[in-house]
Amino acid sequence: MQGAPVIAVPLAERLVHSYLAYDPGISPRDGGLPGLQVLKDIVSSINMYAIIAVVGSLCVSLIVWAWGHHSGGHQTEANGKKGAMVSCGVAIGLGAANGLVVGLTALGELVQ
């Protein structure tokens, strides 16, 4: 019995070609739902309040750091330093949040 030759295709390759190659064609669209501008305003306001809170926590941490240093309280000084470093890290994160999301979204669009 002679028929067409059977070519063995690895399972992973069959999965990629049969299931994973489907493109749903979904991408972010500005203005798709009502209230999008309101949501952007809310998130921007939350970001602003968070930045104001970080400024306050940085001021308190620096005061605790100085007080601990001048009073000889090494634990208090260390806690002030930790608070200042955490406040600076949070400030960097809040300032970079939009850029990080945009950059990672652009990176995610490259995946195929």
Locate the domains of the chain by residue range.
Answer: 37-109
Structure tokens at 24: 């749903």
Region class of 27: left (phi > 0), else alpha (psi between -120 and 50), else beta: beta
Tens of pLDDT along 7-37? 665 666 665 555 556 667 777 777 778 888 8
Q: How far is it, in rounded angstroms, from Cα 3 to Cα 83?
A: 76
Q: What is the pTM of this model?
A: 0.69
- The parts of the chain modelled with pLDDT lower than 70 are 1-23, 112
How many CB atoms are closer than 10 A to CB 29?
A: 8
